[in-house]
Amino acid sequence: MPSTRVTALRPGAGTERPPRVGLLTFLNCRPILWGLRHRGLQPGLDLLSLSAEAAGERLIAGGLDLGPISLAEYLRHTDDLLLLPGLAIAAEGPVMSCHIVSRAPLGDFPTLRVGLTSTSRTTVLLARFLLEDRLGLTPRYFTGPPDPASLLRRGDAAVVIGDPALRVHFHGVPQYGTAIVHDTAQLWTEWTGLPMVFAVWAVRREYAERHPQTVDAVHRALLAARDHGLEQLPRVAAEASHGSGFTAAQLLSYYETLHYELTAEGEHAIRHFAGLAVDYGLVPGDWAVRRFEGAR
């Protein structure tokens, strides 16, 4: 992957404060954060590490100027957000950290009770598409904490994401030793032939219109940080493993599985996902991708 060079990062003319840039506390965002730190690209940025849910909410509400947002939330707010080209958290095949975990094969339950976590937006929709459209099931859903064991105590299956799901991938659910792990991205790719895009990067439209040079500089910095992090994945994984409960080898395999680039095929996947979400009435029918085109 070609490296993007960034020579300076300063707020644009008229900017009264540093741009507020979101990052995710989940391990999946660590290569970008590592690249920002080790390329010295943090000065001039007000970086906020947040949960996936909080990052999206703050971006929509104006508490962030740009940052990652779940695909589902982005599609609901395309009037207010501009897509930052080239950046995503995606997978083609297994993602290792977004699962449906069930106590038995999904088709074995007379009425499938599925626990959902409020920390997930995109994977909750993806699970519905897979369970209802692909498998033809009619689940009953309930909401609970982001803990697979707790959800499985109340139901037959659970949708889990992020670091808890990564633990399930490597260690299973000890309380339910026979639990079956269904990787949602793998199921999606087998069904559609497309990658699964879980999150994109976006900038608030009004901020981009006022400060296009600042957004352009931050965008380039993020691309450069991503490229540098991907070039040094063994180091990223080794540092991220400290206190995480995962080994460096486990995290390296995770980072090598994820895709951090939004490709043309990924944009096709976004359109396919959005079409399903519109059919469910969960995304406005007039959604449209509007890209940040850079400073002019």
CATH number of domain containing 55: 3.40.190.10
Judge if 112 and 73 occupy the same domain. no
16 pLDDT more than 80? no
Q: Is residue 42 part of a domain?
A: yes
Domain that holds residue 152: 98-192
Q: Where are the beta strands (DSSP E) in 145-282?
A: 157-161, 180-183, 196-204
Judge if 72 and 107 occupy the same domain. no
Beta bridge partners of 291: 83
* Structure confidence at residue 81 as a pLDDT band (50, 70, 90): very high
**CA geometry: angle 81, 82, 83, nearest 5 deg:** 120
Instruction: Give the burial class of 264: count Cβ atoms within 10 A of its Cβ; 0-12 exposed, 13-18 middle, 19 or more buried.
Output: exposed
- Looking at residue 119, its pLDDT comes to 74
13 pLDDT more than 70? no
Condensed to tens digits (0 to 9), the pLDDT of residues 96-139 reads 999 999 999 999 999 999 999 877 789 999 999 999 999 999 99
Mean pLDDT across the chain, nearest whole number? Answer: 91
- Looking at residue 121, its pLDDT comes to 86
- Looking at residue 177, its pLDDT comes to 81
Share of the chain above pLDDT 90, in %: 82
- CA nearest 12: which of 205, 204, 212, 222? 212
Domain count, the chain: 2
Going by C-beta distance under 8 Å and a sequence separation of 6 or more, which residues neighbour residue 133?
276
- Looking at residue 176, its pLDDT comes to 86
Judge if 161 and 226 occupy the same domain. no
Condensed to tens digits (0 to 9), the pLDDT of residues 259-296 reads 999 999 999 999 999 999 999 999 999 999 999 997 65
Last residue of a domain, one of 171, 192, 213: 192
Q: What is the mean pLDDT of residues 181-203?
A: 97
* Structure confidence at residue 39 as a pLDDT band (50, 70, 90): confident
Q: Is residue 293 part of a domain?
A: no
At residue 148, the 3 state secondary structure works out as helix
Least confidently predicted of 62-76, 118-132, 197-211: 118-132
The model's pTM: 0.91
Indicate the DSSP class of residue 27. Answer: G
